[in-house]
Amino acid sequence: MAFEDLESDDKNAGLLLRHIFRAIVVAFPGADFRVEPHPDTNDIVFYVDPIDGARSVEVTETFLDADDGLSRAVYQLENLMSQLTKLGPGEVLRVSRTGCDLGLAEL
């Protein structure tokens, strides 16, 4: 699925998703990727499959809404790269209005 296929007319959401995807590509060079909407929510899920095992990054709809503005949303991503490097096989990194949180995959 391409970012253009995502049902969002919000330019800020597109910018945020592109920023997150670029960070994922840098953190996991050579990995296979796919992007899909979560089956039960409007969250966007990046599935990352490097050689050592799959993991995912879930970006919540409330984060993408950026109700507090784009600057606040970008600030919430300040530790994104460090969290991505800690993301292990079978784990999910959830990006929400409160920041980036690691947990076990429930997808």
What are the structural domain ranges in the chain? 3-104
Place of tokens 């899909």: 36
pLDDT confidence of residue 22: 94
pLDDT confidence of residue 68: 78
pTM: 0.83
Q: Which residues, in sequence order, are CB contacts of 15 under 8 Å at separation 6+?
A: 70
d(CA 67, CA 44): 17
Phi, psi (deg, nearest 5) at residue 7: -80, 85
Inter-residue contact 60 to 96 (CB < 8 Å): yes
What does the pLDDT average to over 65-73?
82
pLDDT confidence of residue 88: 92
Place of tokens 């840098």: 26
Give per-residue pLDDT as tens, 13-56.
888 999 999 999 999 999 999 999 988 888 999 999 988 889 99
pLDDT confidence of residue 1: 42
Instruction: Quote the DSSP letter at residue 103.
Output: E
Average pLDDT, the chain: 85
Residue 28: burial class (beta carbons within 10 Å; 0-12, 13-18, 19+) = buried
